[in-house]
Structures are given as C-alpha cells and as structure tokens.
Chain A
C-alpha cells in the first residue's frame, strides 16, 4: 500500500496582520533542541491583503532530497518527515533552490538550511496560533484504521462524485463482518452494479426505500440470535432517509435497533433528475424548484434531520463530511462501538451535476460548507451535544454559495436570508452543546 503521512495544514488568508506567533515559537523550539533556524513563516502582504503562513509540505517525492549534494536531507519511511542532518549540511542552499514550495529556510549568514520537522509529530506552532489556523492533518493515523478495500474499481457514479469516496471510507473503516444496505438512489449503481458487474465484495442488499431499516433490523436480529456480531450499515440518500423512508427510520430509532444508518445527503433526488427533497436548502435550485422569472429556487427551509434523529435519544448521532476525514473517522469509530442501540450519521455529499460545480471541487465544497457553518460538524452522544470541529472565524455564507450554480440566482436579500437561517441553526446547535448531560439517577440520589 502507498504510504500516507501527516502534514501541517494552514488555513488560507485568515492570519491576523503582523502576527508572527508560529515562527517565533518555531525558532524557540529549535533553539531549545540545540539547533537553529525555523520551519514555518508568516506571509504578510498588506498591499494585496494577503495574511497567511507557509511551511514544508513533507512531499512524497521531495525535490530537496534529490538536490542535496551530501544526502543530508532524508525522508523518513516511518513518519514521512523530511529532515536535515545538520552535521552533513554544507549550507550550499541547493535545497532552497530546488524546492518549489518554499519549504526550506536558508540562512546565508549562518550558512545553514533548516526546515519544518513537525516537531517529530507534535507541532508546537499549532499550540500558539491565536486563531487556530494551523492544524495537523493526520492522514497516517486515519489510514492506519483502514481495512482491505471492499469496493472494486470502476463504479458507474459520476466522475468526481464524493459519494463513492465516502462509501469506500466508511467500509474501509468498518472492516470485516459488515453488511451493507441500500435503497434506490445514486449509490444503487455502486451496490447493485451495472449489468453483470458489481462493485461490492461484502454482503449487500437493496431494499425498497421504505424498507431499509426494517430489513436491517431483521438481518441484525437473525445474526444476533445465531450468536454472530455483525454490523449492519445503511448507506442511503436523503430521498430515502429523510422523505420516502423516514417513517421506518424513525421507527427503527424508536425501537433503538442496533444498526448504523448513514445518510449521504445531496439535498435532492439526484438520481431521478434533480428534484427537490426535504433537505434541499432555502433558495436552492432543483428542477422542481426552478429559478426563472419570479421563481427563486426552494422557498422553504430544509428539514434538520440529524437533529430530529437526536431527538429520538438514540445512543449516537453525528454529522460528517469526507473533507474532514479525521473527524469522520472518529465518528464512525464511535458509531461502531455502540452495541446497545442505533447510530445515525448524516453526511453532506455534494452533487456535481445537481449543484453545479467542477468535478475536482467536491472537497472544497464540503469544507466551505463546514467553514461557513452551513453544515456544522457536531455529535450527540448519549444525551450530550458537542461541536467536533469548531470554526474559529466562520466565513460568510457567500464563500459557500459562490462555489455552486444552484445558488447563482440569489440576490443580496436572499443571501441575507440564507445567512440568517445558517446563523439561527448554528446558534441552535451551539445552545444545545451548552446543555449539561441530564444527571443520572445515581447522581440524583
């Protein structure tokens, strides 16, 4: 398998002007360790309003390693960190000349090159960043949880559709003894295959939209009776989960069946021609909520299904996106650990065709949805609400809507309204996180 390693992520253009916190700390850390130099640096160009920071990418094929005349720079196979062995460093500066990403700090006066070594896995710049713009992307620790890929190559989903990636991620984390359930929708093609080809190597079953939770219930109960611990996982669209099959879903939650129900919400009936669903957002274009003349997309707000699911008081409910895989992984792990009831995960899964964006932009879209608080990442775990990915400086909703053609027709007033809805919903969930867990009976006594 290809190697995956951790890297630093720096949020674009959010740094406070003149801030040097990351660099100052980095220099201190290096000095404490008895070395000199620096591994991260702020970029402030007031003239064009740029305030961000730059550091080494820890490339998979580092140009600096190739260009070093003494082999002083190496990439570790265990942690992927690109390090400089100072006793071998000539101070020739060729690494700086070769690196196209500005990952090397070259000090001509001291004749030394230095760079980011991720503080050997615990980057200190993260701790000091006043706006939490620096984070460690833990590809390695995510991939470590992967099992063999149960999906075969060549799905018939649209090019660039994040639903396939999401399902693959889910199943790779779930591992053995997982039964997959689906319903008519885009993912039908993945689960049932096209023609004589299928894509899944694990037991899977397609039901009607209205019978997914009840089918899962039956399979799960049968295996339990036979003494087998299998996981029943549903992967269905919003049409099935939130509209057509909502009653049986609610019923399974009320019975607290031990199943994992995952909704990939693309905010409409994308498989049948982009009709509106109850999760289509305010202002969103679909073929049944067109934007022509006086008609301005959907005029109602969307149904907040994960909150409704939490109101069933099942053990675990969460929202997730594939763009924040560490967060997603943690939630899948929690859902898997639940053995005494139901888990529900609601995923925002953009539709290239139905939302109108480029095939390579799915991750940008979901991240923007999170970074604008349009789709806050939270979880509800046994009575307690928690925001799992706090956005320090939420971007205005226009940073999200501008990416999508389905919102292209909105004027300022409508955008304001959408912003109001987003704020209201976020404040709602935020307020819920402040509720303390209900005291247990033992505590009351």
Chain B
C-alpha cells in the first residue's frame, strides 16, 4: 500500500495519543507533528504542581527525548500553522512555507480567554496555560503578599491553593454563584470553598470585576458593587476556548470548537480534530459540546489516530468528569452533577467531617456521582455510567460503601460483558 503523509498540528495529549495509536495499528505512514511550543510536550495539568514545587521542571515532559525517533515521526517545534487550505490539502506556516498532507489532525488544544474588562490588556496580567506562564508566576510570586484570581474554575483553584501554600493572601473573584461551577453542585462547591477559606483563601462569589486599574506592578480591581480589592498579582483564569483562529476561511466547520463526528472527522473528508479543540458529541445527551479535560483528549486522540490510518474506531462520547485535590482533601465528580426532572438523587452529607456523597440515577442506571473526601475509585463510576450498568437494587448500598460496591458492580458487569460481546 502506498504510504500516506499525516500532519498533526499540536503536540499535546490528543496529538501524542493519535501518534501512538497510528503506530500501534502498524501504520508505516509518514507522520509529522508541528507545535509552536519550543519545549518537549507537556500537559498544562502539570503547571500548578510545578508552581507548588511538587515536581521539577525536568520531570514534566510527557515523553522522553528519543520518543519521536522511536515512533519514527518528525517533530517540528517552534513553528506555527497560520492557515489550512483544505481544498489543496496544504498547511501554511508562519514562515510562509506550505506543506501538503494526505490527512490532517488538528489537536491545537485551547487557549485562555480574557474577559472584556478594562485593564486586563496590561502585560502584568498573569495566565496559566503554557510553561512560560508558570515560569512567570514563579518569578513573580516571590515576595508577593496578595494575589487576586479572576475565575474559580479548576485552573484558578489549583493556583489559589499553590499561592496560599506559599503564604500569599489569595482572593478569588467568581462571576457565577459558586466555585468550580462546571464540576460540582452548590453543596459540594460550598464545602470545598469552606476548606479553602480555612486555609486563608477568600472568595467573592457571584461578583463581577468591573475594571482593573494599574499602579506600576500592583493593581486595584473594582467590583460591580462593594469595596475595590488591592493586589500585587493578578491572574485571569476565567476559562479557555478552542484554539481555532487559524482555521478562519477554511471549510472546516466550527461552532464553539471544531465539529467532529464519532470518528473524529471534521466537515472535511481528510481532516480530523481531537482534544480540547474538538466539539464532539456528549455521551449523556448525544449533543455536540466542548469538554476540555485530559482523559477526553487521550481517548479522542486514539480514535482519530485509528481512523486516520484506516482502522475503524468509534468514539462513544465524552463524559464530564474531574478530580480536584486541595490541602489533602479530594473532590471528584463523574457524569451528571445536577439532576433533571425525572432523575433520582441519593445523597449522604456529613458537614462535620466534610464528606459528601451524591449519586444521580434514572431508573436503574447511574448518570452521575460526586464525592468529597470519600475513598472511591473514580474511574469505576465512569465505567458504571458508560456501561449503563444496572445498579437498581444496590443504590442504597452503593452510597453507603461506594468504593466496595462500585468495584463489585463493575466486576459483575465485566463477567457478563464478555458473554454479550461474543454473542
């Protein structure tokens, strides 16, 4: 068979997963990865841990120096793709070079968004997405007394913890009425907030920043109501969006992200997308949407990699899930966090010990689970949801002994699974 040429734009989790999958399928095709990063591939997930000193910078690369040689792939760094000409099947680099491809994988990930607040265009504003951001913050946080973080998403919360651990007075401003709004319900968010508050982080929840005024390196953040806040350090972590600007004017269809089908193919026949940049269908609703989390990127990259070399693989849809570890505590959520009208909720809450357990079911099937400081194997809950495992008669036991019962249900289901696949 004739060798094809695949270009992968990006070098994050999805891109690497696709590369590995293509080689696993014994493809001998030519593969080139192009990244604008100068560093060996790393995940933005590592950055807060770098700041907290949990890990050394030399340890964060996801692969070793010789990985691309082993994979017989060409790795081009420090180069940006400015445009994709889908008609000719070419990518255009910032250096004005053109390069043709047989299939293209877009795995450019996401980029931080700056909300339209006057004063945020200042170069003192910190963000947290790439290694240079982390290096910036590490330089700046020495000797810093107070910091403000706009946005109480996972990135914001991680950085809040790191700074608080370093003795910095952290204030978090969140527009929505609770912290970690995408991953936890009101009760759980409240409990997490109280733990963080105990460690010196203060919150301004349901409050909007109106303007930022700079005085040399320090800033004054005025809120829509109440006293303005003073800070030495301002970080914006209000969210991310797919990095798709370079596709303007191409035939690749974009809604919030790049729309893909269940094989990760875009609206263009030989162009695929995976990871944060892709808008794939949700496992729970079947509707397209973004779910920029790492396990999702890995899975999508695998599916794309298979299909790009002609091995059929279907994506079953993304499931919201996350895990947040803070000051020795742990919060995890998998699947649906807020019940719909017909859903049943089982809840066990212990304010004294700070534990919280909640499962959302419809009839006999599990749809979502949230746990705070509960010893569980979170992935097993993902299994139960994705496998549509019947948990009906064991719901109550499940909430009482979530770890043990979920493992048992998983194993019982595994036994049946082997039978049904073959039949």
Residue of A nearest to B326 (CB): A108
Question: Which residues of chain A come closer than 8 Å to B423, judged between CB atoms?
Answer: 358-360
Residue of A nearest to B420 (CB): A360
What is the interface residue range for chain B against chain A? 35 or more
Q: Is the CB of B383 within 8 A of A100?
A: yes
Which of B42, B49, B60, B62 has a CB less than 8 Å from the CB of A91? B49
A379 at the interface (CB under 8 A from B): no
- The stretch of A29-37, A47-55, A283-291 in contact with B is A47-55
Q: Is the CB of A45 within 8 A of B404?
A: yes
Question: Which residues of chain B come closer than 8 Å to A90, judged between CB atoms?
Answer: 45-46, 49, 54-55
Residue of A nearest to B20 (CB): A66
Which of A54, A71, A92, A104 has a CB less than 8 Å from the CB of B379? A104
Q: Is the CB of A93 within 8 A of B330?
A: yes
Q: Which of A54, A87, A92, A109 has the most CB of B within 10 A?
A: A92
A197, B170: Cα distance in complex, Å: 77
A108, B43: Cα distance in complex, Å: 21
Which of A44, A93, A99, A111 has a CB less than 8 Å from the CB of B328? A111
Question: Which residues of chain B come closer than 8 Å to A69, judged between CB atoms?
Answer: 13, 42-43, 45-46, 62, 294
A70 at the interface (CB under 8 A from B): yes
Q: Is the CB of A43 within 8 A of B379?
A: no
- The stretch of B95-103, B140-148, B405-413 in contact with A is B405-413
Q: Is the CB of B59 within 8 A of A70?
A: yes
A252, B273: Cα distance in complex, Å: 68
A73, B400: Cα distance in complex, Å: 32
A415 at the interface (CB under 8 A from B): no
A54, B60: Cα distance in complex, Å: 30
A106, B298: Cα distance in complex, Å: 20
Given A94-B323, A100-B380: A70 touches B42 (CB 8 Å cut-off): yes
Which of A12, A63, A91, A101 has a CB less than 8 Å from the CB of B54? A91
A163, B384: Cα distance in complex, Å: 35
Q: Is the CB of A102 within 8 A of B294?
A: no
Which of A43, A87, A94 has a CB less than 8 Å from the CB of B295? A94
A12, B415: Cα distance in complex, Å: 11
A131 at the interface (CB under 8 A from B): no
B325 at the interface (CB under 8 A from A): yes
Q: Is the CB of A52 within 8 A of B295?
A: no
Question: Which residues of chain A come closer than 8 Å to B419, judged between CB atoms?
Answer: 358, 360-361
Q: Is the CB of B397 within 8 A of A97?
A: no
A48, B294: Cα distance in complex, Å: 36
Q: Is the CB of B329 within 8 A of A45?
A: no
Question: Which residues of chain A come closer than 8 Å to B150, judged between CB atoms?
Answer: none
Q: Is the CB of A87 within 8 A of B404?
A: no
A102, B410: Cα distance in complex, Å: 9
Given A71-B61, A88-B59, A93-B325: A101 touches B383 (CB 8 Å cut-off): yes
What is the interface residue range for chain A against chain B? 35 or more
A61, B299: Cα distance in complex, Å: 11
Question: Which residues of chain B come closer than 8 Å to A129, judged between CB atoms?
Answer: none
Cβ proximity bits A59-92 to B, threshold 8 Å, 1 near / 0 not: 0000100111111000000000000000110111
Closest CB of chain B to A104's CB: distance in Å? 7
B321 at the interface (CB under 8 A from A): yes
Q: Is the CB of A67 within 8 A of B298?
A: yes
B382 at the interface (CB under 8 A from A): yes
Which of B361-404 touch A at CB < 8 Å?
373, 377-380, 382-383, 386, 394, 397, 400-401, 403-404
A88, B58: Cα distance in complex, Å: 9
Residue of B nearest to A95 (CB): B379
B63 at the interface (CB under 8 A from A): yes
Q: Which of B56, B61, B383, B408 has the most CB of A within 10 A?
A: B408
Question: Which residues of chain A come closer than 8 Å to B404, judged between CB atoms?
Answer: 43-45, 50
Q: Is the CB of A98 within 8 A of B63?
A: no
Q: Is the CB of A52 within 8 A of B60?
A: no
Q: Is the CB of B330 within 8 A of A108?
A: yes
Closest CB of chain B to A18's CB: distance in Å? 13
Q: Is the CB of B379 within 8 A of A99?
A: yes
A45, B409: Cα distance in complex, Å: 11
Question: Which residues of chain A come closer than 8 Å to B60, judged between CB atoms?
Answer: 70, 88
A96 at the interface (CB under 8 A from B): yes
Q: Is the CB of A66 within 8 A of B295?
A: yes
Q: Is the CB of A97 within 8 A of B334?
A: yes
Which of B308-355 touch A at CB < 8 Å?
321-323, 325, 328-330, 332, 334
Which of B261-290 touch A at CB < 8 Å?
none
Question: Which residues of chain A come closer than 8 Å to B400, judged between CB atoms?
Answer: 47
Which of A43, A87, A97, A98 has a CB less than 8 Å from the CB of B407? A43
Which of A68, A91, A97, A101 has a CB less than 8 Å from the CB of B322? A97
Which of B57-103 touch A at CB < 8 Å?
59-64
Which of A54, A111, A361 has a CB less than 8 Å from the CB of B411? A54
Closest 9 CB pairs of A and B: A108-B330, A69-B43, A100-B383, A102-B377, A69-B45, A66-B298, A99-B379, A71-B62, A93-B323
6 CB contacts below 8 A, A to B, read A45-B408, A50-B404, A50-B408, A69-B294, A87-B59, A92-B325
> 18 extra interchain contacts, Cβ-Cβ under 8 A, other than A70-B59, A90-B49?
A45-B408, A47-B397, A47-B400, A50-B408, A52-B408, A63-B295, A66-B17, A69-B13, A90-B46, A92-B45, A97-B334, A98-B379, A99-B380, A100-B380, A102-B403, A108-B329, A358-B419, A361-B419
